[in-house]
Amino acid sequence: MALRYLTSAAAQQLDRDLMSVGGFSIDQLMELAGLSCAEAVYHTVPPTSSPRVLIACGPGNQGGDGLVAARHLQHFGYSPQVWYPKRNAAPLFEVGAVQSDQRLVTQLQNLGIEFVDNDAFDTKLETTDAVLDAIFGFSFRGEPREPFKSALEAIVSVQKRRSLPVLSVDIPSSWGVDSGNGESALSQSFMPDVLISLTAPKLGSRAFRGKHYLGGRFVDGPTAAKYDLNLPKYPGTSQIVDITGVEPSN
If binding is defined by CB under 8 A, does position 245 make contact with its own copies? no
Residue spans of alpha helices (H) in the chain: 8-19, 26-44, 61-76, 97-110, 121-127, 148-161, 185-189, 221-226
Q: Contact letters (x/-) for its own copies, 13-52, by CB under 8 A?
A: --------xxxxx-xx--xx-----xx--x----------
If binding is defined by CB under 8 A, does position 9 make contact with its own copies? no
Task: Please check whether residue 120 is in contact with residue 45, taking contact to mean a CB–CB distance below 8 angstroms.
Answer: no
Question: How many CA atoms, within 13 angstroms, populate the side-chain half-sphere of residue 136?
Answer: 24
Task: Please check whether residue 190 is in contact with residue 175, taking contact to mean a CB–CB distance below 8 angstroms.
Answer: yes
* Rounded-to-integer distance, Cα 26 and Cα 20, Å: 11
If binding is defined by CB under 8 A, does position 112 make contact with its own copies? yes
Q: Is 165 helix (H, G, I), strand (E, B) or coil?
A: coil
Please tell me whether 20 is known to bind a ligand: no
* Rounded-to-integer distance, Cα 248 and Cα 82, Å: 33
If binding is defined by CB under 8 A, does position 142 make contact with its own copies? no
Q: Contact letters (x/-) for its own copies, 197-226, by CB under 8 A?
A: --------------------xx-xxxx---
The one among 114, 183, 234, 241 contacting its own copies by CB under 8 A: 234
Q: Given the rule CB under 8 A, which of 7-15, 81-89, 150-158, 233-241 is the region that contacts its own copies?
A: 233-241
Q: Which of these, 201, 183, 209, 202, lies nearest to 241 by C-alpha position?
A: 201
Please state the residue numbers annotated as binding site for K(+). Answer: 62, 133, 173
Please give the residue ranges that form the binding site for its own copies (CB under 8 A).
21-25, 27-28, 31-32, 38-39, 42, 71-72, 75-76, 96, 99-100, 102-107, 110-112, 217-218, 220-223, 234, 236-238
Q: Which residues are annotated as a binding site?
A: 61-65, 133, 137-143, 170, 173
